[in-house]
C-alpha cells in the first residue's frame, strides 16, 4: 500500500507579483490529486536551493522574461504525495523522494529531446520561470522529469546538486579535457563554482580557482583547488594563469560568473586548442573575444545550458557516493529576500538552502 497523505487546501509560497517587485510570502492554493493532469505529480517539499537564476527571474533582467505572478525556485527535494489520474507508465510512485530541476518538463519527442538536449526543447517548462517553482510547500511537477534521489545524500545537499551541480557537471563533462589537464573556474567560491571544483577533481583535472575574499579562498583550497587567484588583488589574471600552468595557459575554463570580464579573460589565458565553456548568464552583456587569437589558437567556445535527465542522475549519484559535497547555509522561506541581497552583493559562499518544513 502506498503511503497516505493529507493534502491541505492552501500553502505558504514566495510570490513575485511582477518583474522587479519585492518577493512576498503569501497563502496560495494547492492542487488536489483530482486537479492534476496525466503525467503530473504533486511533491511536498523538504527543502529548496536558491540560485542566482531565481534572482534574475524575479528582477526580469534577462532577454527572456519569466511569467508573473511567479513562484520561483528550481532546486527542490521532497516526496511525491499524489500522481495525476490516468498517468501511464510512471517511473516514480507515491512516497518516492525526488528532485525538481530547472527543466520541469519537455515533449521528449522533438529533435532536441531525442538527441539528449531536452533543456533546449521548444516546449520546455521551466521551474520558477514559466511554471511555478519550488519556493512553496508543495509543487506540481512531472513524473518523467523529476529526478529520483538515492540513499547516501541528504535532501539539503541534493537540492543544490539539481541545478548548480548538474550545470557545472555537464559543462566539465563536455569541456574537452583529460585527466591531468588544467581547468580555470572563475567564481569558484560561489554556489556553482565550489561544486565545479569537486566535479573537476573527480575527473582528475587540476583546478585554478578565481574569486575574492579569505572565506572563499579557504573554501576553494579545502575542496581541492591547486591554485588560488584573487581577482581583486591580482594585477594580471591572464599572466597569473599562464604562470601557474608553465606558461602555456589552461586547457579549459568553465565560466560560471555573470561578469562579462570573466569571458574576455578566458580566451586570453587558454592555451592553444583550449575550450571556453560559457555557463554564467549576464543579462545584457555580449561575449567579447579577439577573433584573430580565437582562430589562431584554435579556441573552442561552447555554450553549456543546465543539463538533461541523464546528467542529473549522474551528478546526483556522484554526490551520493561521497565524492562531491555541497557547502550550504540553511535558512527558512521568509529569509528569501535577505538571501537575494547576499547573492547580489557577492557575500554568499557556497549555497543557500531553504528548509521548507520551517515556516
What CATH number does the domain containing 37 carry?
3.90.180.10
| 136 and 191 co-located in one domain | no
Report the pLDDT value the prediction gives residue 193, as an integer from 0 to 100: 92
Dihedral of the CA atoms 249, 254, 256, 260 (nearest 10)? 50
The grid coordinates of residue 38 equal 496525466
CATH assignment of the domain containing 260: 3.40.50.720
- Containing structural domain, residue 203: 175-303
The grid coordinates of residue 251 equal 586547457
| 41 and 127 co-located in one domain | yes
Is residue 78 situated within a structural domain?
yes
Mean pLDDT taken over the chain: 93
Report the pLDDT value the prediction gives residue 7, as an integer from 0 to 100: 94
Domain total in the chain? 2
| 28 and 144 co-located in one domain | yes
Is residue 5 situated within a structural domain?
no
Adjacent-strand bridge partners of 270: 250
Report the pLDDT value the prediction gives residue 359, as an integer from 0 to 100: 59
Is residue 265 situated within a structural domain?
yes
| 56 and 153 co-located in one domain | yes
Using a pLDDT cut of 70, give the percent of the chain over it.
99
Say how many C-beta atoms besides its own lie within 10 A of residue 86's C-beta: 9
Report the pLDDT value the prediction gives residue 96, as an integer from 0 to 100: 97
| 96 and 237 co-located in one domain | no
**Would the pLDDT of 143 be above 90?**
yes
Nearest to 164 by CA among 51, 69, 11: 51
Per-residue pLDDT tens digits for 275-306: 999 998 776 777 878 889 899 999 999 999 99
Is residue 170 situated within a structural domain?
no
**Would the pLDDT of 126 be above 70?**
yes
Per-residue pLDDT tens digits for 228-286: 999 999 999 999 999 999 999 999 999 987 677 778 888 899 999 999 999 987 767 77
| 180 and 66 co-located in one domain | no
Per-residue pLDDT tens digits for 39-70: 999 999 999 999 888 998 999 888 889 999 99
Task: Read off the pLDDT band of 38 (50, 70, 90).
Answer: very high
| 51 and 118 co-located in one domain | yes
Residues 149-167 have a mean pLDDT of: 93
| 14 and 158 co-located in one domain | yes
Last residue of a domain, one of 303, 320, 339: 303
Q: Is the CA virtual torsion 43, 44, 46, 47 positive or negative?
A: positive
| 243 and 139 co-located in one domain | no
| 112 and 182 co-located in one domain | no
Q: Residue 84: phi, psi to the nearest 5?
A: -55, 140
Is residue 168 situated within a structural domain?
no
Per-residue pLDDT tens digits for 163-190: 999 999 999 999 999 999 999 999 899 8
Is residue 1 situated within a structural domain?
no
Is residue 278 situated within a structural domain?
yes
| 36 and 75 co-located in one domain | yes
Greatest Cα pair distance, the chain, in angstroms, is 66
Per-residue pLDDT tens digits for 127-142: 999 999 999 999 999 9
Residues 6+ apart with CB under 8 A from 236: none
Report the pLDDT value the prediction gives residue 118, as an integer from 0 to 100: 96
Last residue of a domain, one of 285, 303, 321: 303
Residues 134-154 have a mean pLDDT of: 96
Per-residue pLDDT tens digits for 192-223: 899 999 999 999 999 999 999 999 999 999 99
**Would the pLDDT of 97 be above 80?**
yes
| 290 and 313 co-located in one domain | no
Is residue 4 situated within a structural domain?
no
Amino acid at each position: 500500500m502506498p503511503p497516505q497523505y493529507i493534502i491541505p487546501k492552501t500553502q505558504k509560497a514566495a510570490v513575485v507579483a511582477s518583474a522587479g517587485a519585492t518577493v512576498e510570502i503569501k497563502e496560495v492554493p494547492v492542487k488536489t490529486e483530482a486537479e492534476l493532469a496525466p503525467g503530473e505529480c504533486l511533491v511536498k517539499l523538504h527543502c529548496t536551493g536558491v540560485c542566482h537564476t531565481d534572482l534574475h527571474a524575479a528582477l526580469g533582467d534577462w532577454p527572456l522574461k519569466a511569467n508573473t505572478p511567479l513562484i520561483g525556485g528550481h532546486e527542490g527535494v521532497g516526496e511525491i504525495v499524489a500522481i495525476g489520474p490516468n498517468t501511464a507508465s510512471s517511473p516514480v510512485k507515491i512516497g518516492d523522494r525526488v528532485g525538481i530541476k530547472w527543466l520541469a518538463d519537455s515533449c521528449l519527442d522533438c529533435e532536441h529531446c531525442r538527441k539528449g538536449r531536452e533543456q533546449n526543447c521548444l516546449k520546455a517548462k521551466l521551474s520558477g520561470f514559466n511554471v511555478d517553482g519550488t519556493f512553496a510547500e508543495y509543487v506540481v511537477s512531472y513524473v518523467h522529469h523529476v529526478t529520483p534521489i538515492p540513499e547516501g545524500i541528504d535532501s539539503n545537499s541534493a537540492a543544490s546538486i539539481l541545478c548548480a551541480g548538474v550545470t557545472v557537471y555537464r559543462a566539465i563533462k563536455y569541456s574537452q579535457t583529460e585527466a591531468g589537464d588544467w581547468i580555470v573556474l572563475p567564481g569558484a567560491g560561489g554556489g556553482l563554482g565550489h561544486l565545479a571544483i569537486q566535479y573537476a577533481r573527480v575527473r582528475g583535472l587540476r583546478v585554478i580557482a578565481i574569486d575574492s575574499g579569505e572565506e572563499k579562498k579557504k573554501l576553494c583550497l579545502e575542496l581541492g583547488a591547486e591554485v588560488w587567484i584573487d581577482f581583486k588583488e591580482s594585477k594580471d589574471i591572464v599572466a597569473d594563469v599562464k604562470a601557474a600552468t608553465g606558461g602555456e595557459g589552461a586547457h579549459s575554463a568553465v565560466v560560471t560568473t555573470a561578469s562579462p570580464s570573466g569571458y574576455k579573460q578566458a580566451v586570453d589565458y587558454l592555451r592553444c586548442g583550449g575550450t571556453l565553456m560559457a555557463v554564467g548568464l549576464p543579462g545584457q552583456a555580449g561575449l567579447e573575444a579577439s577573433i584573430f587569437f580565437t582562430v589562431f589558437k584554435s579556441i573552442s567556445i561552447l555554450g553549456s545550458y543546465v543539463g538533461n535527465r541523464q546528467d542529473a542522475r549522474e551528478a546526483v549519484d556522484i554526490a551520493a557516493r561521497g565524492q562531491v559535497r555541497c557547502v550550504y547555509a540553511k535558512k527558512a522561506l521568509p529569509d528569501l529576500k535577505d538571501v537575494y541581497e547576499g547573492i547580489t552583493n557577492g557575500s554568499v559562499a557556497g549555497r543557500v538552502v531553504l528548509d521548507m518544513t520551517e515556516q
